[in-house]
A = this chain, B = another copy of it.
C-alpha cells in the first residue's frame, strides 16, 4: 500500500503544556506532507518527528484562533533560514491575509521562498487542492469564528500486475502501465485476454477527515460518508455538554455519534480540555457509541 499516515504533533485545546501542544498535525501521503493547523511549538514537534521539512507541500488552517495558528510565523521564518526555495501555499478562512501578511512581510522579509496565502470560503464544501495522489476538500464546521475541517481523499492507485500472467503471455514491459491502468491484452492470434486475468484489484481508496473546532454538527455525516479515519474534536465530557454547546465545541459522545452516523472505520479524539486529569472518561463515553475510538496523543502516528 502507498503511504498514508497521520502524525499528531499536538492535540490539546487552548492551553499548551509541556506535555501537550495545541492543534497541529501532518498528513503524509506518498511522502508529500500536508500540515493541518500550526499551534505554537509546531516547528519543534516537527523536528522531533524526523519528517522532512522540505517535503511540506501546503498548510491548512481550520480557523484563526491562536491555539491553531501561533506556531505559523516562527515555522515560516525557520524554513527561510533553512534555505527553503519552493513556494508554500497556506489555506485558511477570511482574515488570513489581514492578520498574517503583515507578520510575514516584517519577519520573513528576506525569505528565499514565496509564501502564498489563500482565503477560503468555509461555508460551502469545495475541493481546494488536487494532485496525482490526493484531493483535499473543505468541511464546513460550526464554531465561534469562520471554521472548516479538511477531507483528504486518496486518488485510486493502479491495479496490481500478476507477474505470472504477464510472463505467460509474453507481454512487453512497455505495455505494463497500460495493463495496470485497465487495458486488456490482445495476443498475436487476436485472442483478447481480459484485464481481470492479468491484474488484481487496486488497493481500496482511503480517506482522512480532520474536524476541529466545532459544535455537534450532524450535517457533517453525509460529507464524511465511509471515511477511513475521522479525527474529531472532543473538548468535553458529557457532564459539560451545555458548556460544549455554549462554546461551540463537542463532547466525546457527540464525536462518536458523527463517526457512527458517517460509517467511519476509525475515530480519533483530540482537542481535549485541560480540565480533565485523565481523558479516559472521554474515551469511555465515545466507545459506548463507537467502539473503534482512540485518544490522540502528541507524537502519535496513525497508519491508514
Contact = CB atoms under 8 A, between A and B. Distances in A.
A107 interface: yes
A48 B99 contact: no
A179 to B, nearest CB: 47
B15 A78 contact: yes
A270 interface: no
A113 interface: no
A41 interface: yes
A302 interface: no
A47 interface: yes
A74 to B, nearest CB: 4
Interface stretch (A65-73, A192-200, A221-229): A65-73
B44 A81 contact: no
A67 B51 CA distance: 22
Contacts of A81: 14-15
Interface string A243-254: 000000000000
A142 interface: no
B18 A44 contact: yes
A99 B102 contact: yes
B66 A44 contact: no
A126 interface: no
Contacts of A73: 66, 70
A17 to B, nearest CB: 6
Contacts of A107: 65-66, 70
Contacts of A133: none
Nearest to A16: B44
A84 B16 CA distance: 17
A106 interface: yes
A107 B77 CA distance: 20
Tell which of A21, A71, A74, A106 has the most Cβ of chain B within 10 Å.
Answer: A74
Interface of A: 14-18, 21, 40-41, 43-44, 47-48, 64-66, 70-71, 73-74, 77-78, 81-82, 95, 99, 102-103, 106-107
Query: What are the nearest 3 A-B pairs in CB distance?
Result: A70-B74, A40-B74, A66-B77
